Structure 1
Amino acid sequence: MIRVLIERHIAESLETAYEERSRLVLQQAVSTPGFISGETLVDSHDPNHRITLANWRSEADWDRWYHSRERRELMAELVPMMDRDEIITVLEQSPTP
């Protein structure tokens, strides 16, 4: 299993529109093979800073979703609502010594 950390910063006054569209992205991801679970958190010091933490079966599953036509189409609606590029970090369990 891998975890994908997605950081986004929403442009001022677009929070409500962003929330509606981002829900659609998550709904689509949930139905994608390999998706395990996900949650979105709000920075307590910056309410426009969102962090999504998603668990995927494998990096290959994540890559298929990331490069899918469905995600590209949904992101085309979200990107104009963000005031900077999203930052994606793929995380895996560190090996135990």
Structure 2
Amino acid sequence: MIRVLIERHIAETLESAYEDRARRVLQQAVSTPGFISGETLVDSNDPNHRITMANWRSAADWDRWYHSPERRELLAELTPMMDRDEIITVLQHSDMP
């Protein structure tokens, strides 16, 4: 299993429009093979900073979703609402004891 951390920063006044579209992205991801679970959090010091944590069965499953036409189409609606590029970090469990 891997965990994917997605950070986005929303432009001022676009929070509600962003929420609607971001919910659609997560709903589409939920039905994607390999998706396990996910949640979106709001930075308590910056309400426009959103972090989504998603668990995927494998890096290959995540990669397939990341490059899918469905995600690209949905992200095309989100990108204009962000004032920074999204930051994606793929995490895996360490082999350390």
- So what's the TM-score if we normalise by structure 2? 0.99
d(CA) in 2 for partners of 1:43 and 1:22?
16
Matched with 2:89 is: 89
**Deviation readout 1:19-70 (Å, 9 max, x if unpaired):** 0000000000000000000000000000000000000000000000000000
Percent identity for Structure 1 against Structure 2: 85
d(CA) in 2 for partners of 1:8 and 1:34?
23
Write out aligned runs for 1:1-97 (5 A). Answer: 1-97=1-97
User: Which one-letter code corresponds to 2:26 in the other structure?
Assistant: L
Number of aligned positions between the proteins: 97
Structure 1 ranges of 4+ moved more than 2 A? none
Residue 96 of structure 1, CA deviation: 2.5
Does the residue aligned with 1:3 lie in a helix, a strand or coil? strand
Residue 90 of structure 1, CA deviation: 0.1
Does the residue aligned with 1:7 lie in a helix, a strand or coil? strand
- So what's the TM-score if we normalise by structure 1? 0.99
d(CA) in 2 for partners of 1:43 and 1:52?
11
